[in-house]
Amino acid sequence: MPGTIIVSDRMPLVLAIFCFIVGPLAAKPPVIEVRPIGTHPIQKAIDSLDPSQAFTLIRLAPGTYREKIHIPKDRPPFKLLGESADTTRIVWNDSAESKDGRGQPMGTFRSASITIESNDFAAENLCFENDHGPGVQAVALSIGGDRGIFRHCRFLGWQDTLLLRKKRQYFDQCQIAGSVDFIFGDATAFFSRCQIDCRDAGFITAASTAGESNHGFVFSRCRITASGGQPFFLGRPWRPHASVHFLQCELPAELRREGWDNWRDPDNETTARFAEWRSSGPGATPEKRCAWSRQLDDPAGRGLSRPWTILSKWDPDHVLTAERISRLPRQQQTEWHDYLERSQHAMTEARDLLREELRQAGLERPRKPADHGRPPSAERDPEWYESKEADDLAEAVISFQTPSGAWSKSTDYREGPREPGTHWSPHGGGDLPWHYVGTLDNRATTGEIRFLARYYHASRSLKALRAIHRGLDHLHASRFPNGGWPQVWPLEGGYHDHITFNDDAMIHVLELLADVSSGREPFDFVDRNLRQRSHDDLKAGIRCLVDAQIELDGKPAVWCAQHDPLTLAPVGARLQEPASLSSSESVRVVRFLMNHAPDEKKSIESALAWFEASKRTGIRREERDGRRFYDEQAGDAGFWWGRFHDLETNQPIFSGAEDGRIYGTFAELFKHNPTEYAYYTTEARSLLSRDEPAWRRR
């Protein structure tokens, strides 16, 4: 297999590493094939990983791998992939009482069959097992690295099966079995659609969540079983402030009716954060639960059921990662891996340049540029662009262009050009902050390109011309293979990786490309090749708009403010921006299609029908106690739309900027959250009254 290494005793590891690094037909991503032959084959593959590789796939052939594995912090991102959890097993049998090399008991933490210290580890279709047996702590898997992802995996043990230490982990459709405290630790972990099996009497969880941590363990839509037929508890607090939530989980009759245990310490009852939401099954008896646990209301439960809320804006199902790309059909993977590699290279190049500037300037950390600015205007009188003031402003704008060809947002260019050792972005913190370094948010990048085009028309400045070309090159390089654009590029993670319609980020790109590809002034200087490339990017973007349109009751409706870069599914961003049908962004998407793709009739007609069916009356905006308030019972006749509508019911929803809870009415939101956000809008009025008739005439 080209680009693949087979690690076994039949091939010397040195030769395997050599082929891995210099093989002329290296795959994307590199693949290491491992077979259950010889001594420690998985550990050898892990030890052989090249730190310069962005991602490596280690594919395990079916079989039982009896070895104790340790993954140190310095290992680059990689994924262990098996055939299935039924056929591909990693097993060891140490316990807390097992002796180490010095003849001392190992203790619980060192008993794990596999210990993971590195970040961005992933596993799929594998069984992790400690087969020591009951009666003593014996860990199957211990993870202390950040952003661990486990899909379709099985974790088997008895006491202390799964140890989650610090950081964030995600479990999707996994099976976890044990008896006593078999999911334990101080991490923040989200379990989605997992089976949790109690093999004997005991406790599912023993969380030791830190008091300053917002969340501990969250189980969403999981099925709890009791194969041992013995009574058990949902959990007990290993430390004060333990946090465990079961959301829409199916509970068996064997669950103790009180649900939770205080671990023989009544003081734990005042600090533990134990709760359920919409439990089902014979064990769902909320009226019998211990008084110090909670039953959540619907807004709280819905807010906690979103992984990106629990995992501090890390959403393993929606950000763009090599692990997610590796699950695409093979024919699609190469262009997406190329895209991700291009982004990572651009990030490395920019960081290295800034570090070198800091070294030469004798600075320990970068200077912060002036904040609270905006892209310079491209709408001034033509004579102004010939002025000294325009020259100075253009000089400053060009100096803040990032190495990839973009700009940050809110930089105040009036303070003068960027000096070496000054960051390109005024956002972020730490020694080398990296936030919004190349963004489309708040008209950044597209605004600077438009300004420089106006300036070039007046000045014929070659520096301005080069900056324009670099900016257009950035837009081309940052376009996803499916035609969308992220909010920030190089990718920085979180919701910034999503295809972003919020604040018209992607629409501003498409409008700019439409002007460039048509050769309209001030872009009449653009050569034929660049115009054609812009035209191709524009067409790809329009196709992405149409493909991303959300269906409601089987019919195309409108768009979300953000969409998944791979699946185009609607996704959330900030706490107040849930996955939804988003009216404001959709108004401007429809308006763009009317003006630049009027033949996309089905898409436009469907969106117009949604706006017509979703309008509300009786709403009035006012001030209450110095805060924005929407009176939903005012009786006014004007039409309004919720900023966000539920993806299933199409009713307006209101997500709190502080708690992330989704409320059914604005009045309820008002009690618990700031309300500066525009939760109702009137933007669709002009779309229906002005833009629609004009489009139909055309």
Contact 522, 457 (CB under 8 A): yes
Residue-wise pLDDT for 631-641, tens only, equals 999 888 899 99
Helix/strand/coil for 58: strand
Distance CA 486, CA 492 (A): 10
Token pair for residue 20?
């891995």
Distance CA 6, CA 682 (A): 61
Residue-wise pLDDT for 382-424, tens only, equals 999 999 999 999 999 999 999 999 999 999 999 999 999 999 9
Question: Which are the contacts of 3, defined by CB distance < 8 A and separation ≥ 6?
Answer: 23, 25, 26, 27, 28, 30, 31
Residue-wise pLDDT for 296-333, tens only, equals 988 788 888 888 788 887 888 888 988 899 889 888 99
β-bridge pairing 175-185 and 217-220:
unpaired
DSSP secondary structure, 67-136, as one string: --EEE-TTPPSEEEE-S-TTTEEEEE---TTSB-TTS-B--SGGG-SEEE-SSSEEEES-EEEE-S-SSS
Look at 24-33, 55-64, 298-307 and tell me which has the smallest mean pLDDT. 24-33
Which residues are the active-site residues? 160, 181
Give the rounded percent of residues in the chain with a pLDDT score beyond 90.
83
Pick from 256, 245, 262, 260: nearest CA to 283: 256
Residue given tokens 């013995």 in the structure block = 230
Report the b/e string of 511-546 with b at 16+ CB within 10 A.
Answer: bbbbbbbbeeebbeebeeebbebbeebbebbbebbb
- Residue, of 305 and 133, whose pLDDT is higher: 133
Pick from 239, 238, 243, 234: nearest CA to 310: 243
Write down the pLDDT at residue 317: 86
Chain Cα centroid distance, residue 134 = 38
Write down the pLDDT at residue 28: 64
DSSP secondary structure, 247-311, as one string: ES-B--TTB-TT-B--TT-GGGGGT-EEEEES-BSTT--GGGS-TTSEE--HHHHHHHT-HHHHT
Q: Taking residues 605-624, report their average pLDDT.
A: 96
Q: Taking residues 176-192, report their average pLDDT.
A: 98
Confidence tier at 432 by pLDDT (50, 70, 90): low
Distance CA 321, CA 316 (A): 8
Distance CA 639, CA 646 (A): 19
Helix/strand/coil for 399: helix
In the chain, what is the greatest distance between 2 CA atoms, to the nearest angstrom? Answer: 87
Distance CA 173, CA 178 (A): 17
Write down the pLDDT at residue 431: 62
Confidence tier at 22 by pLDDT (50, 70, 90): very low
Distance CA 170, CA 192 (A): 8
Distance CA 199, CA 179 (A): 5
